[in-house]
């Protein structure tokens, strides 16, 4: 199988084919090493097992505020280690924890979860400071990867890992693919890194805040291997779906566990056979794994896994390379001046990789070589015609034929004065021209620009007239860094002169000048003797977007300039732009189409594009995209585009493209169907009215309202009233309702004047603006709806996730989720205990106060499957008023009144942190069946706390309680009556309670007639429950009994009567010193 890079090296091809060959039968061992100690953990494995792991993981990202010199040294050590490891038979994989653009090399700038999509898009936009920094960093790392290429070392390169999680600055970004493409293009096409195999590396979607694999997948055409990071701890399962989900989208390509914390058991490979390698994360080898866990995978006798000595990669027989590269095409000069021509061309291809290009001028004059697909030719003569051609070469010395010859004529010398600008001073007259004051020239500076006026004034050297001296005595500068200046100018060709004076010390400052992103200084300027000044230029530039963009790039000191002179060209432009190419069209609604195309080029500059619908002009744009609106649904249209320049020259039309608009959907209110003006729902549009109008019409028509993919902003509640309300989104987080404020409910379905029945809400998400607001509002409120269904719905950033109110009989939910930004996941205040018959299936609920909150006097609920967790974001001490489930207390009013007829089955109570698993108030009745209860990370209060329990009836069947609990009681009860009862069967407890460990088959066993395991610790004695009586062993075989829940104790005087229960257990009948009859199991 061939890599995605058609010019991949033979070694890279061999490695990829080896991974294909072992997939399904063998798995390579691996471990990650730090940037600072690149051999550290591979040596640990060798010390433990006498062999090295097959795969050595290396880091290219500095995260500890290292100096440039330290970083260079550390990266070189990584390269040296990787070369040696490969030469000794090992496989090399590399990653890069890259810091956010224009920030220090620190971990806080890598794990930057606050990065917005707008900020991310700026990084991916050519010409921005962030983009230029990104490219610069790529070029730095590429120099080290080139050493590996030259040493013939193939690398499993896995950049921007865990992109489906939100913790890194590149995580969960809509345009992630664009960042991937930029790096691939730079490394492959610019630097020729043909030794890289590209590993797309996600995180296992183990929780609701981690997107599915498919959300950010770049596609099989853009990666060679797919990987996932599996960080499972404790009893967290290595789910089959983590393996199968990756395999499904891989298209048959190799898959791997690219990072792992706690190692999976060797039996995992029985069903997850396609993992080609796993890589332990450095220190996790010891921190999260026992010796037996390590031995199971790294021991050299294990047949399933392969260490370094067992790696056997077939070596393809090398053959002499006699094949030349293809001919470079599309040689052009998109930018030229009086003395410069900026050449570009389409890259050649080669069977082994293009090594560079040679450029010739006027047929025989050699200009230079470059590995890029562009070159700036300087030192030309104004108003002179030149010819250029280019050819490609490969590493074997084969040359392509020359490209088609490009002829061009340099610009004439600019002689027409446009304006002069005294940046930090007043209007002045310089060289008989009137200059503008800087604050009257509509200039935009970068934020770091400062102004300075010399006081007392300096006498410039050489001497100048008084007005020029005024201009030279004021300047703009930046401290220890470069800066930018943007000056509005009509599109056209210009020549720029810059003035500078040294006012501090000799040769203090030096800098380069970039105009429209192109460096126009061949060596630094600004190095002057103190009090000396200089005029630099002319520098030629083409303005194509109405603004002259100048960047002052610092070399030394504090770069600064005092003035700028601008001249324009008088040459007449008669050359039309090139024809736009690659026109594509996507119907984005029933009435609009999105068009995009590749940019045209022009000898002066393209100013815009005319878009035609048939033969009619549909609109004009300055960019390479345009949205045509006002179209008719389900209708085919034909579009083409023409480019134009400043002089009014217009290109021929592009190729035509046909596209058909979409069908109308109910969210867009149709004029012909409903007699209303069509409303397009687009990002940032206030969708509230459109939703409410469409819902009313859908209910009236008895049809389902489908909400297509998108994020929909609302400024008020979306209301749906009536029978058979049906709403459906596109699934997952494709359809998102995003209110501006959490002061109102996002969606309310149900009661108008009387109860409504039937209907559903499916496949969408609601996301409020802020996490955990104190508003008593809900993301979704169901108000007196009967037989209503909610499925595949997610709510985050609301006080209440989903709120059921007013007798919602017979309703159900399936796969509802609430995120960490919710105080109460599911709030039930639906009426009488007699039976609302509400069923909740596969509920994955989080609430900072409660995952589920059941109000007073409510009941008739069934919870089957899922997970409840609470109290992870606030507090560091136990909180008695919080619990994964709270019963018998109204969340909003605080009124207590009991709850009954509640079944909780197959729920995992996790992440309890400092709350209770179950917290009840007043008289309650519920059954807990087949649940797992275990606090996460930090101890929780306990399993169950009941306040004012009265005649509560509790049944606990086949539960498992594990972990550390900070309270002295697993179960805490007060205010109970004589006929209060807890019945528990077939459970298991393996827990630590306030430092005392308890392991047993149950907490309580048939508590009305029998003796159970300890439920709390008192005076270092095990205390047990016998009916409503407490029994404790006080030492030396003496038993004591208490009828007032532990306040006073009496010694039991046993009689000789032995009773045998129907289950075969024996009890001794005893009498207390006050005459009470007791039974004691023996």
Residue 669 lies inside a defined structural domain of this protein: no
Q: List the single range of 100-114, 595-609, 1018-1032, 1034-1048 with lowest mean pLDDT.
A: 1018-1032
pLDDT in the model for residue 994 = 52
How high is the pLDDT of residue 352? 84
What whole-number percentage of the chain has pLDDT above 70?
A: 85
User: What whole-number distance in Å separates Cα of residue 330 and Cα of residue 348?
Assistant: 11
CA 856 to chain centre: 41
Do 369 and 455 lie in one domain? The reply is no
Question: Based on the domain organization, do 114 and 251 belong to the same domain?
Answer: yes
Looking at the structure, tell me whether residues 337 and 437 fall in a common domain. Answer: no
pLDDT at 883 over 60: yes
CATH number, domain containing residue 451: 2.60.120.260
909 assigned to some structural domain: no
The mean pLDDT of 316-325, rounded to a whole number, is 76
The residue ranges of DSSP E strands in 363-517, in sequence order, are 365-370, 374-377, 385-394, 406-409, 416-422, 428-430, 433-437, 444-445, 450-453, 474-477, 483-488, 492-501, 510-515
Is residue 758 very low, low, confident or very high in pLDDT (cuts 50, 70, 90)?
confident
pLDDT for 401? 94
pLDDT of amino acid 1066: 57
How far apart are alpha carbons 148 and 83 in whole angstroms?
Answer: 7
- Show which of 359, 382, 409 is a domain's final residue: 409
pLDDT digits (tens, 9 = 90+) for 461-518: 999 999 999 999 999 999 989 999 999 988 888 889 999 999 988 888 999 999 988 8
- Which one of 639, 660, 681 terminates a domain? 660
At 1014, the pLDDT band (50, 70, 90 cuts) reads very low
Question: Do 295 and 347 belong together in one domain?
Answer: no
- Summarize pLDDT for 553-569 with one digit per residue, the tens: 999 999 999 999 998 86
Average pLDDT value for residue range 103-115: 93
pLDDT recorded at residue 937: 61
**CATH number of the domain where residue 278 is located:** 3.20.20.80
Residue 572 above 60 pLDDT?
Answer: no
Q: What is the pLDDT of residue 1004?
A: 34
**Which 3 state secondary structure label does DSSP give 122?**
helix
Integer Cα distance of 609 and 521 in angstroms? 33
In a domain, 73, yes or no: yes
Q: Which of 273-287, 630-644, 957-971 has the lowest mean pLDDT?
A: 957-971
The average confidence (pLDDT) of the chain is 84
Cα dihedral 935, 936, 937, 940 sign: negative
Mean predicted confidence (pLDDT) in 33-37: 93
Judged against a pLDDT cut of 50, whether residue 1011 lies above it is answered with: no
Regarding whether 52 and 197 lie in a shared domain, the answer is: yes
Residues 536 and 497 in one domain: yes
Are 634 and 536 in the same domain? Answer: no
* Residue with more model confidence, 831 or 491: 491
Cβ density class 464-497: b for 16+ within 10 Å, e for less? beebbbbbbbbbbbbeeebbbbebebebbbbbbb
- Enumerate residues 6+ apart whose C-beta is below 8 A from 243: 255, 271, 272, 274, 275
Q: Which of 739, 829, 821 shows the shortest CA–CA distance to 783?
A: 829
What percentage of the chain exceeds 90 in pLDDT? 52
Is 694 a domain residue? no
User: What pLDDT shows up at residue 422?
Assistant: 94
- Among 409, 430, 451, residue at a domain's last position: 409
Question: Do residues 653 and 623 touch, judged by C-beta distance below 8 A?
Answer: no
When pLDDT is averaged across residues 870-896 and rounded to a whole number, the result is 83
> Alpha helices of 605-730 — where are they, by DSSP H?
671-674, 688-701
More confident position, 352 or 59? 59
Residues 492 and 615 in one domain: no
Looking at residue 395, its pLDDT comes to 79
Whether 268 and 158 map to the same domain: the answer is: yes
Domain extent for 362: 329-409
For the cut 60, the answer to whether the pLDDT of residue 1079 exceeds it is: no
- Which candidate, 223, 285, 314, 270, places its Cα nearest to that of 27? 270
Task: Return the ∠ at Cα 193 (arms to 187 and 194), rounded to 5°.
Answer: 130
Within this chain, do residues 489 and 504 fall inside the same structural domain, yes or no?
Answer: yes
Q: Where are the alpha helices (DSSP H) in 61-187?
A: 68-87, 117-123, 129-150, 176-185
Q: What is the pLDDT of residue 1082?
A: 57
> How far apart (Å, rounded) are the C-alpha atoms in residues 627 and 618?
9
pLDDT 10s digits, 506-554: 888 999 999 988 888 877 899 899 999 999 988 888 888 889 999 999 9
Whether residue 289 is contained in a domain is answered as yes
Instruction: Report helix, strand or coil for 294.
Output: helix
Whether 183 and 91 share a structural domain = yes
Cβ(968)–Cβ(1017) below 8 Å:
yes
**Residue 287, token pair as written in the block:** 């921190």
The reply to whether 1014 falls in a domain is no
Contact present, 155 and 89 (Cβ < 8 Å): no
Pick the more confident residue, 180 or 752. Answer: 180
Question: Is residue 447 predicted with pLDDT exceeding 80?
Answer: yes
Q: What average pLDDT does this structure show over 96-116?
A: 93
Q: What's the CA gap between 518 and 503, in Å, rounded?
A: 28
Q: 443 and 383, same structural domain?
A: no
Q: How far is CA 764 from CA 712, 728, 745, in A?
A: 11, 7, 16
Q: Does a structural domain hold residue 670?
A: no
Is the pLDDT at 723 greater than 80? The verdict is: yes
User: pTM for this structure?
Assistant: 0.40
> Is residue 367 very low, low, confident or very high in pLDDT (cuts 50, 70, 90)?
confident
Least confident residue range of 316-330, 706-720, 1012-1026 = 1012-1026
CATH of the domain at 340: 2.60.40.10
Residue 431 lies in a domain: yes
Q: Per residue in 324-362, pLDDT tens? A: 999 999 999 877 777 778 889 999 999 888 988 999 999
Question: With bands split at pLDDT 50, 70 and 90, how would you rate the model's confidence at 602?
Answer: confident
Number of domains, the chain: 5
Higher pLDDT: 755 or 52? It is: 52
For residue 187, pLDDT beyond 90 = yes
């Amino acid at each position: 199988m061939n890599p995605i890079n058609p010019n991949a090296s033979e070694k890279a091809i061999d490695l990829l084919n080896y991974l294909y060959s072992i997939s399904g039968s063998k798995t390579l061992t691996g471990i990650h090493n730090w940037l600072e100690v690149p051999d550290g953990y591979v040596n640990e494995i060798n010390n433990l097992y006498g062999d090295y792991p097959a795969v050595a993981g290396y880091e290219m990202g500095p995260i500890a505020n290292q100096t440039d010199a330290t970083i260079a040294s550390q990266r070189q050590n990584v390269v040296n280690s990787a070369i040696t490891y490969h030469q000794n038979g090992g496989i090399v994989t590399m990653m890069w924890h890259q810091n956010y653009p224009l920030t220090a090399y620190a971990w806080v700038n890598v794990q930057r979860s606050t990065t917005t999509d707008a900020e991310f898009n700026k990084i991916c936009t050519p010409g921005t400071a962030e983009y230029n920094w990104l490219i610069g960093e790529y070029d730095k790392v590429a120099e080290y990867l080139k050493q590996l290429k030259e040493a013939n070392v193939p690398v499993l390169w896995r950049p921007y890992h865990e992109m489906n999680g939100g913790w890194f600055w590149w995580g969960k970004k809509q345009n992630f693919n664009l960042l991937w493409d930029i790096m691939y293009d730079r490394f492959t096409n610019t630097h020729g890194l043909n030794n890289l195999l590209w590993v797309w590396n996600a995180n296992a979607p183990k929780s609701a805040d981690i997107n599915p694999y498919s959300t950010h997948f770049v596609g099989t055409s853009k990666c060679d291997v797919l990987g996932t990071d599996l960080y499972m701890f404790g009893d967290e399962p290595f789910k089959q779906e983590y393996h199968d989900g990756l395999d499904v989208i891989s298209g048959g390509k190799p898959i791997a566990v690219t990072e792992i914390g706690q190692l999976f058991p060797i039996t995992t490979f029985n069903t997850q056979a396609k993992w080609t390698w796993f890589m332990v994360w450095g220190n996790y080898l010891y921190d999260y794994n026992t010796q037996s866990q390590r031995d199971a995978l790294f021991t050299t006798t294990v047949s399933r896994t392969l260490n370094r000595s067992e790696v056997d990669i077939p070596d393809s027989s090398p053959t002499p390379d006699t094949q030349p590269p293809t001919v470079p095409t599309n040689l052009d000069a998109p930018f030229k001046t009086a003395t410069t021509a900026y050449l570009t061309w389409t890259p050649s291809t080669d069977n082994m990789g293009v090594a560079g290009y040679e450029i010739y001028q006027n047929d025989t004059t050699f200009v230079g070589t470059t590995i890029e697909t562009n070159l700036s030719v300087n030192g030309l003569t104004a108003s002179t015609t030149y010819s250029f051609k280019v050819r490609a070469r490969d590493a074997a010395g084969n040359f392509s034929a020359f490209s088609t010859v490009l002829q061009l004529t340099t610009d004439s010398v600019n002689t027409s004065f446009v304006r002069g600008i005294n940046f930090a001073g007043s209007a002045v007259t310089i060289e008989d021209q009137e200059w503008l004051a800087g604050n009257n020239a509509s200039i935009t500076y970068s934020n770091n620009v400062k102004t300075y006026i010399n006081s007392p004034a300096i006498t410039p050297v050489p001497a100048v007239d008084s007005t020029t001296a005024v201009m030279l005595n004021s300047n703009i500068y930046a401290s220890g860094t470069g800066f930018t200046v943007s000056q509005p100018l009509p599109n056209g060709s210009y020549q720029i002169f810059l003035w500078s004076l040294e006012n501090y010390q000799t040769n203090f400052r030096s800098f380069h000048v970039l105009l429209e992103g192109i460096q126009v200084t061949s060596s630094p300027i600004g190095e002057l003797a103190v009090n000396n000044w200089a005029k630099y230029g002319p520098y030629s530039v083409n303005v194509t977007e109405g603004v002259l963009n100048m960047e002052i790039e610092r070399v030394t000191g504090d770069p600064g300039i005092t003035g700028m002179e601008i001249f324009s060209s008088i040459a007449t432009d008669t050359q039309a732009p090139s024809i736009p190419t690659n026109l594509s069209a996507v119907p984005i609604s029933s009435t609009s189409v999105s068009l995009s195309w590749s940019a045209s080029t022009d000898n002066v500059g393209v100013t815009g594009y005319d878009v035609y619908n048939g033969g009619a002009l549909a609109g004009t744009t300055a960019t390479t995209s345009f949205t045509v609106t006002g179209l008719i649904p389900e209708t085919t249209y034909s579009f083409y585009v023409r480019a134009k320049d400043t002089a009014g020259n217009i290109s021929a039309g592009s190729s035509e493209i046909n596209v058909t608009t979409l069908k109308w959907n109910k969210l867009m209110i149709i004029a012909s169907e409903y007699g209303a003006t069509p409303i397009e729902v687009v990002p940032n549009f206030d969708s509230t009215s459109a939703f409410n109008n469409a819902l009313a019409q859908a209910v009236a028509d008895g049809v389902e309202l489908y909400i297509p993919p998108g994020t929909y902003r609302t400024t008020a509640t979306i209301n749906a009233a009536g029978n058979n309300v049906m709403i459906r989104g596109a699934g997952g987080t494709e359809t998102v309702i995003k209110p501006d404020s959490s002061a109102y409910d996002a969606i309310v379905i149900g009661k108008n004047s009387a109860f409504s029945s039937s209907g559903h809400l499916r496949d969408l998400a609601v996301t409020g603006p802020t996490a955990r607001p104190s508003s008593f509002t809900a993301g979704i409120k169901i108000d007196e709806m009967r037989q209503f269904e909610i499925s595949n719905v997610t709510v985050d950033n609301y006080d209440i996730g989903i709120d059921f109110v007013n007798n919602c009989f017979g309703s159900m939910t399936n796969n509802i989720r609430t995120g960490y930004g919710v105080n109460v996941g599911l709030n039930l205040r639906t009426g009488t205990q007699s039976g609302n018959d509400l069923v909740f299936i596969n509920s994955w609920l989080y609430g900072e106060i409660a995952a589920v909150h059941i109000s007073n006097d409510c009941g008739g609920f069934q919870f089957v499957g899922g997970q409840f967790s609470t109290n992870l974001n606030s507090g560091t001490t136990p909180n008695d008023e919080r619990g994964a489930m709270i019963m018998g207390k109204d969340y909003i009013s605080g009124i207590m009144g009991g709850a009954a007829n509640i079944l909780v089955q197959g729920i995992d109570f996790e992440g309890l942190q400092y709350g209770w698993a179950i917290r009840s108030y007043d008289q309650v009745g519920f059954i807990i069946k087949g649940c797992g209860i275990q606090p996460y990370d930090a101890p929780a209060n306990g399993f169950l706390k009941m306040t004012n329990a009265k005649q509560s009836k509790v049944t606990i069947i086949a539960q498992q309680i594990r972990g550390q609990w900070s309270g002295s009681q697993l179960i805490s009860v007060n205010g109970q009556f004589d006929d209060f009862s807890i019945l528990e069967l077939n459970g298991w407890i393996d827990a630590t309670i306030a430092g005392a460990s308890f392991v047993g088959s149950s907490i309580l066993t048939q508590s009305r007639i029998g003796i159970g395991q300890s439920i709390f610790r008192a005076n270092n004695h095990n205390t047990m429950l016998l009916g409503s009586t407490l029994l404790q062993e006080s030492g030396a075989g003496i038993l004591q009994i208490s009828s007032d829940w532990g306040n006073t104790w009496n010694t039991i005087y046993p009689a000789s009567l032995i009773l045998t229960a129907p289950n075969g257990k024996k009890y001794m009948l005893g009498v207390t010193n006050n005459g009470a009859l007791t039974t004691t199991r023996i």
